Amino acid sequence: MRAFFVKIRGGGGVPPRAALGEVFWSWLGGFVGIALVGWLDQGWLHDRDVMFLVGSFGASAVLLYGAPASPLAQPRNLIVGHLLSALVGVACYRFLPLVDWVVAAAAVSGAIAAMHLTRSLHPPGGAPALIAVIGSEQVHALGFRYALTPILAGACLMLLVALLVNNLVPGRRYPLWW
């Protein structure tokens, strides 16, 4: 038991604060990425009840623009992680005749397993799986199309912004791999 509590205590210090230039570029990428997805939703698709601004895109923005060198922020992880998780979530909602909280747990844990197996772990990817189960009737009515619009389309838009903004910054290179 002692070893367990020693681990919980931690062992390192807080990392240094990011330079103001890094903060600016991270802010700019996050602003443009989320604004583009929101603009598409409000300007083009609002009458179809498709909500492009899903919560997972906020978390993806932190990785893509604030930590672009993270393995979890690479294009493969972003795209495959979101898409696969949405598909797993829809499948669980449609085919598991269980109570909602069990289906939600199955969707998120299934998404984690699928991302691990495909080497595409992207922590925000758990949200599309969960939303597919607990989302509104509009989300449920989309069925497997939910994985394409809004999830895949929104992730692709955020990737385009990440490719543009992150490669304007001296010292940043994005992606590290595809």
Give me the pLDDT at residue 75, please: 98
Q: Which of 106, 84, 83, 82 is nearest to 94 (CA)?
A: 106
Tokens of 91: 């499948």
Q: From first to last of its 178 residues, what are the pLDDT tens digits of the chain?
A: 888 888 888 888 888 999 999 999 999 999 999 999 988 877 766 555 557 788 899 999 999 999 999 999 999 999 999 999 999 999 999 999 888 999 999 999 999 999 999 999 999 999 999 999 999 998 999 999 999 989 999 999 999 999 999 999 888 899 999 9
Specify the pLDDT at position 45.
60
Find out whether 34 and 162 touch, Cβ atoms under 8 Å. no
Q: pTM higher than 0.75 for the full model?
A: yes
Beta carbons within 8 Å of 101's beta carbon, 6+ residues apart = none
Question: What does the pLDDT read at residue 46?
Answer: 56
Predicted pLDDT at 61: 97
17-55 burial string, b = 16+ CB within 10 Å, else e?
eeeeeeeebbeebbebbbebbeebbeeeeeeeebbbebe
